[in-house]
């Protein structure tokens, strides 16, 4: 059985993330979408809220489950039996950042990183940009799943 991790902060999950997860699900028997906990970052949503939104957004995908991890991702890959870490790339800047991490992950545990080019339709999406657009009253309806959209607007309303 082939197993891959798709890690990220997913704060919040957007349609670019979903595109990558959906495509990875066709290539591996099991996909573990992993909310990586970074104690140095505070998100708009709690880790539990992100897990819940990811679970809702991926319920239609067979072989996909959601987990969290704090620490070295390669340790989770080894612990879970994953043979690959899959990262979606939007542009060359993403590649420059991710390739160094991929090389170090391989050095540490031998786990390979697979890069998947983002569908150009979603290449401008980032969670931070979506939050900023929504915070300023812009329409992000086509950028995030409907359930995420509602939660995003509600959270921003709570904070204003």
In the chain, what are the domain boundaries? 3-159
- pLDDT above 90 (res 67): yes
Catalytic residue numbers read 17, 41, 90, 127
Segment 104-128, tens digit of pLDDT: 989 998 899 999 999 999 999 999 9
Q: Which residues are annotated as a binding site for ATP?
A: 9-10, 17, 88-90, 98, 122-128
Separation between Cα atoms, residue 7 and residue 90, nearest integer Å: 15
User: Can you say which residues are annotated as belonging to the binding site for substrate?
Assistant: 9, 41, 73, 87
Strand ranges for the chain from DSSP E: 3-8, 30-36, 64-69, 84-89, 112-117
Continuous segment of H or E residues that includes residue 52: helix 47-58
Mean pLDDT for 86-102 is: 90
In the prediction, which pLDDT does 39 show?
Answer: 80
- Average pLDDT over every residue of 68-94: 93
Q: Which CATH class is domain 3-159?
A: alpha beta
Which sign does the torsion angle of CA 93, 61, 134, 69 carry?
negative
The answer to whether 5 touches 38, Cβ cutoff 8 Å, is: no
């Amino acid at each position: 059985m082939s197993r891959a991790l798709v890690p990220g902060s997913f704060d919040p999950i957007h349609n670019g993330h979903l595109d990558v997860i959906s495509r990875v699900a066709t290539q591996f028997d099991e996909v573990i979408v992993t909310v990586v906990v970074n104690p140095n970052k505070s998100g708009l949503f709690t880790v539990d809220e992100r897990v819940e939104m990811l679970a809702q957004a991926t319920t239609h995908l067979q072989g996909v489950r959601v987990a969290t991890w704090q620490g070295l991702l390669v340790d989770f890959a080894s612990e879970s039996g994953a043979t690959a870490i899959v990262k979606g790339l939007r542009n060359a800047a993403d590649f420059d950042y991710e390739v160094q991490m991929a090389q170090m992950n391989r050095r540490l545990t031998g786990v390979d990183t697979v890069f998947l080019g983002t569908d150009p339709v979603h290449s401008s999406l980032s969670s931070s940009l979506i939050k900023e657009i929504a915070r300023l009253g812009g329409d992000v309806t086509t950028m995030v799943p409907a359930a995420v959209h509602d939660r995003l607007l509600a959270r921003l309303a709570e904070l204003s």
